[in-house]
Structure 1
Amino acid sequence: MAREAPVDEVAAAWAEGGLVVDVREPDEYAAGHVPGARLMPRHTVPAHCGELPADRTVFLICASGNRSRSAADWMTSRGIDAYSVTGGTLAWARGGRPIASGSSERAA
C-alpha cells in the first residue's frame, strides 16, 4: 500500500526544495501544476523512474490522488522513498498554494 503525505507536509518539503513529480498527462500538467514539479505521466513511470535521484524522497501528485497512489506504490515496491500527495493538485490549489501553468520537460 502506498504511503501518503498530507498537502501541508508536501508544501513544507517543496518550500525547501523537495522533489515533486506530477504523474498526470501533459495537457493536465500544462493547465496547472505545482511550480517546479517534474512531469512523468503515470504510464511512463516504469520506464523513467530511474531518472529520478535515488537519494531523495519523491512526492507524487496527480489530480486527486488515485494515479499518484498507484505510482507511489510501484516506486516503493522498488525501493524508492515515494509518497502520494493526499488530495492531489486539487487539494494543493484549494489550500491557496501557488499553481504554475505551461508545459515542461519530462522528469530527469
Structure 2
Amino acid sequence: MNLFNNRLPSVAASAVPDDGFLLDVRENDEWQAGHAPDAVHIPLSELNDRAREVPNDRDVYVICRAGSRSAQAVAAFNNAGWKTSNVDGGMHAWEAAGRPMVSESGTDPFVA
C-alpha cells in the first residue's frame, strides 16, 4: 500500500457493518464475477456523473479489487464533503474474511 492510502480513513473488510452502505467501484466484469450482496455498483469511471446516488448523510464504505481505485474514490468523496472509508485489501480481503458474495452469472462468485 502506498503512503497516499495510509492517510485515508480505512476499515478492515471484517469490520464493515452488515447494514453499511458499501460502494463497489470496480468494472462491470469484476462486479459480475463476484460482489457483496447488498453493495451498490458504480464503476470508478462513472462516479463523477453518478455521485448523487451515494448518500452524504451516512458513512460510506468504498471497495474495489485491492484498494487503489477505492482509495481514489474515498479521497475525492471526502474532499467533497462525504464521510467515506476505504475497505482495506478490497474484495480480496472481503473474500478472505469469509464475507458473503454473489455473482451475476449464476456461478460461484470469485474476485476477478
Q: Compute the TM-score of the two structures, normalised by the length of structure 1.
A: 0.86
User: How far apart, in 1, do the equivalents of 2:104 and 2:38 lie?
Assistant: 11
For residue 31 of structure 1, report the CA deviation from its aligned partner.
0.2
Cα-to-partner distance string for 1:49-101 (whole Å, 9 max, x where unaligned) = 12222211110000000100000000000000011100000001011111111
Could you say which residue in structure 1 is the equivalent of 2:80? 78
Aligned ranges for residues 39-50 of structure 1 at < 5 Å? 39-50=41-52
The equivalent position to 1:65 in structure 2, one of 64, 67, 88, is: 67
Aligned partners of 1:21 and 1:60 also within 8 Å: yes
1:93 aligned counterpart, secondary structure? helix
What RMSD over aligned residues (CA atoms) do the two structures have, in Å? 1.2
Q: 1:25 aligned to 2:5?
A: no
Which has the larger Rg? Answer: 2
Could you say which residue in structure 2 is the equivalent of 1:6? 12
For residue 45 of structure 1, report the CA deviation from its aligned partner.
1.1
User: How far apart, in 2, do the equivalents of 1:101 and 1:50 lie?
Assistant: 26
Paired residues, number? 99
Q: Percent identity?
A: 36
Structure 1 residue runs without a partner (length 5+): 104-108
Q: Which moved more, 1:48-57 or 1:65-74?
A: 48-57
User: How far apart, in 2, do the equivalents of 1:61 and 1:55 lie?
Assistant: 19
Aligned partners of 2:14 and 2:99 also within 8 Å: no
Aligned partners of 1:21 and 1:40 also within 8 Å: yes
1:59 aligned counterpart, secondary structure? strand
User: How far apart, in 2, do the equivalents of 1:47 and 1:28 lie?
Assistant: 20
For residue 2 of structure 1, report the CA deviation from its aligned partner.
2.5
